[in-house]
Amino acid sequence: MTTAVEMSAPATRPPQSAVRVVVVGAGFAGLAAVKALAGRHGQSSRVDVTLVDQHNYHVFTPFLYQVATALLEPTGAAHPVRPLIRGLRDVEFRLAQVSGFNFRLHRVESDHGSIDYDYLIVATGAVNDYFQNADIATKTFSLNQLDAAQELRNHILSCFEAAVWVTDSVERSRLLTFAVVGGGPTGVEFSAALSVLVHELVARDFAVISGAEPRVVLVEGSTALLTSFAPDLQDKAHRALRARGVQIESTALVAEVDKDGLVLKDGRRLASATVVWAAGVRANPLADCFPATGTRGRVMVGATLQVERHPEVFVVGDSAEIPGRSGALPMLAQVAIQSGRHAARSVLALSSGGTVSTFHYRDLGTMAVLGRGDAVAQIGRVHLTGLSGWLAWLAVHLARANSWQTKATVMFDWVSGLVFTDRPVRLITRPTVEPTSSETGARRPDTRAEPVRSVAFAKADLPSVNVANTHRWGRVAALAWWSQDYPGLRPKPTRQKGIAALRGRALRLRHVLTGDKSSAED
Ligand SMILES: Cc1cc2nc3c(=O)[nH]c(=O)nc-3n(C[C@H](O)[C@H](O)[C@H](O)COP(=O)(O)OP(=O)(O)OC[C@H]3O[C@@H](n4cnc5c(N)ncnc54)[C@H](O)[C@@H]3O)c2cc1C
């Protein structure tokens, strides 16, 4: 629920010792803004920065398709915000869902209360665009959030497990048909990675269903894939996907999605238990708080990224319709990073009594991965394909990843995948064992269901933070943690010594996460 905008003269406020800057959104744009603001000073005063996000982690969206296809742990595509801003001076983080803005009182409204600002930078990104079709929204999977990518991975793996039990060839084929809607970079990268996964999976581990060939079908409304790329790269992507066994349906528009699959506008039906929606995004609904929105619901900003009549408010990244040389700038991470930085510099200039400058975007190129060691990259006039494209993609994305820990996790999982030619993260961690089984066709009973645990731990409840799911070592720690609440499950005396240290660590972890001192002193 967003709060309507209030337009009038700025509130007068008593002189402050520090300039208060609130940055909403810890995505690419918000983090770039915070880093550029940290520890800086206005003309005569300190700049205090409050970063607000609805999650306590930053998501590296370019890796989400790898989470969904079991190539990467979720920790490879997301990193907690607090360590990312650790060491940045005069920056604090607040976990809250922002519900609106009071521009008259210079106030951000959230589910945890309000925060006052002198300058506001809004960087709340984008959401999937379902073109107001409720069926598409509820019956398709998406890739734009960490939860969604994990859920999709669980579902894909569950489809294979379910197919083993099915004797009816039509139903088995439905379970093993994966439809991806949208032939942009997200749809192409996901289709390529999924194709490798499903063919490898069946060949290796599902001999019993090897007769039913799994299919990945990429449905695209226009005549070509990757329409924002040059024609030679579009062709290359088309050929590479075909070679990987992806069935490409061009000029095919989706009319409806139901529990059995999707129906195209030309009347053709595709029976599929998995429809992944990668057909477009629009600005976060918070954009509706602003007086003027443009294409894809984005907030219209001027060339300085400021909002009309509110020079103290900047909107950046995917939420903003930023004027470029040939129309609005695309919704890309580079646009977000550069615009976030620019807004931060403008805030510093304004708070020092200076003026703001026009934002100029530097196009650093676009890339899409087409499988192991294969990518297309368009960097100015340079077009790279195959291994050179992939190496360029690798270098750019590893450099962009926000922490060394993320880089290390990603490298470890990738190298492990290459060496063992297997997907290291093929875990079904949520009980999505019956894909699209409900009468309504809704794709899952509960998207936030608890992770599957062994029967022995079925009644155990991990307090608030799901450590088991957030870190590889978390699973070990969680086991020891759970054992605290279930004395009957504690290890036998002979094994106690080795596990005592682990328990000690778990207790300290529990203390840090819950503030439960008694458990730490146990
Ligand atoms: C699957 C996928 C793959 C992509 N791959 C690429 C790629 O390879 N290269 C590329 O350049 N671009 C890619 N993009 C696009 C890129 O992710 C976006 O352009 C970029 O993330 C925009 O940055 P942002 O800071 O505006 O928004 P985001 O990075 O989305 O950050 C928005 C932040 O705002 C927070 N937020 C939202 N609403 C609220 C609220 N109400 N209260 C508090 N916080 C809130 C969110 O939690 C989030 O942390 C991809 C996008 C997706 C979905």
Per-residue pLDDT of the chain (522 residues; tens, 9 = 90+): 455 444 434 444 445 578 999 999 999 999 999 999 997 776 567 899 999 999 999 999 999 999 999 988 888 899 999 999 998 999 999 999 999 999 999 999 999 999 999 999 999 999 999 998 999 999 999 999 999 999 999 999 999 999 999 989 899 999 999 999 999 999 999 999 999 888 877 777 887 776 678 999 999 999 999 999 999 999 999 999 999 999 999 999 999 999 999 999 999 999 999 999 999 899 999 999 998 999 999 999 999 999 999 999 999 999 999 999 889 999 999 999 999 999 999 999 999 899 999 999 999 999 999 988 899 999 999 999 999 999 999 888 888 887 787 788 778 777 777 777 777 678 888 654 455 544 445 454 333 333 322 322 332 333 333 444 444 455 555 555 444 443 344 444 445 555 566 666 666 665 655 555 544 433
Which of 61, 122, 334 is the pocket-test mutation for ligand 1 (most atoms within 8 Å of CB)? Answer: 61
Atom 5 in ligand 1: residue holding the nearest Cα: 62
The boundaries of every CATH 3.50.50.100 domain in the chain are 134-278+366-420
Q: Torsions phi, psi of 315, nearest 5?
A: -120, 130
Question: Tokens 């490298």 map to which residue?
Answer: 411
pLDDT for 204? 79
Ligand 1: does its nearest atom lie under 6 Å from the Cβ of 28?
yes
Query: What number of CA atoms fall less than 13 Å from residue 28's CA on the CB side?
Result: 22
Q: How far is the CA of 27 from the centre of ligand 1 (A)?
A: 6
Give the CATH fold of the 134-278+366-420 domain.
FAD/NAD(P)-binding domain (3.50.50)
Give the CATH fold of the 18-54+96-128+282-351 domain.
FAD/NAD(P)-binding domain (3.50.50)
Ligand 1: does its nearest atom lie under 6 Å from the Cβ of 329?
no
The answer to whether residue 200 is catalytic is: no
Nearest-angstrom CA–CA distance, 88 and 274: 43
Longest dimension (CA), the chain: 75
Contacts of 488 (CB under 8 A, 6+ apart): none
Ligand 1: does its nearest atom lie under 6 Å from the Cβ of 186?
yes
Q: How far is the CA of 61 from the centre of ligand 1 (A)?
A: 7
pLDDT for 416? 73
Q: Which atom of ligand 1 is nearest to the CA of 32?
A: 25
Nearest-angstrom CA–CA distance, 56 and 53: 7
The catalytically annotated residue of 109, 151, 189, 220 is 189
Nearest-angstrom CA–CA distance, 363 and 338: 10
Ligand 1: does its nearest atom lie under 6 Å from the Cβ of 318?
yes
pLDDT for 124? 98
Nearest-angstrom CA–CA distance, 263 and 278: 16
pLDDT for 73? 86
Which of 57, 110, 124 is the pocket-test mutation for ligand 1 (most atoms within 8 Å of CB)? Answer: 124
Ligand 1: does its nearest atom lie under 6 Å from the Cβ of 62?
yes
Which of 1, 22, 23, 28 is the pocket-test mutation for ligand 1 (most atoms within 8 Å of CB)? Answer: 28
Atom 4 in ligand 1: residue holding the nearest Cα: 62
Terminal C-alpha separation, the chain: 44
Q: Does the CA dihedral 424-197-395-32 come out positive or negative?
A: negative
Ligand 1: does its nearest atom lie under 6 Å from the Cβ of 182?
no
Element (H, E) at 47: strand 46-53
Angle subtended by helix axes 386-400 and 404-420, to nearest 10: 150
Q: Which of 273, 247, 263, 260 is nearest to 183 (CA)?
A: 247
Nearest-angstrom CA–CA distance, 229 and 13: 50
Q: What would the two tokens of residue 38 be?
A: 């940290």
Q: How far is the CA of 333 from the centre of ligand 1 (A)?
A: 7
The boundaries of every CATH 3.50.50.60 domain in the chain are 18-54+96-128+282-351
Q: Which of 129, 147, 187, 125 is nearest to 337 (CA)?
A: 125
Ligand 1: does its nearest atom lie under 6 Å from the Cβ of 143?
yes
Q: Quick check: helix, strand or coil at residue 456?
A: helix
Q: Which atom of ligand 1 is nearest to the CA of 331?
A: 19
Q: How far is the CA of 341 from the centre of ligand 1 (A)?
A: 16
Q: How far is the CA of 28 from the centre of ligand 1 (A)?
A: 7
Angle subtended by helix axes 333-351 and 28-37, to nearest 10: 30
Ligand 1: does its nearest atom lie under 6 Å from the Cβ of 317?
yes
Atom 6 in ligand 1: residue holding the nearest Cα: 62
Ligand 1: does its nearest atom lie under 6 Å from the Cβ of 514?
no
Ligand 1: does its nearest atom lie under 6 Å from the Cβ of 50?
no
Q: How far is the CA of 59 from the centre of ligand 1 (A)?
A: 7
Q: How far is the CA of 144 from the centre of ligand 1 (A)?
A: 8
Q: Which of 192, 164, 167 is nearest to 178 (CA)?
A: 192
Ligand 1: does its nearest atom lie under 6 Å from the Cβ of 334?
yes
Q: What would the two tokens of residue 433 be?
A: 């064992």
Nearest-angstrom CA–CA distance, 175 and 166: 9
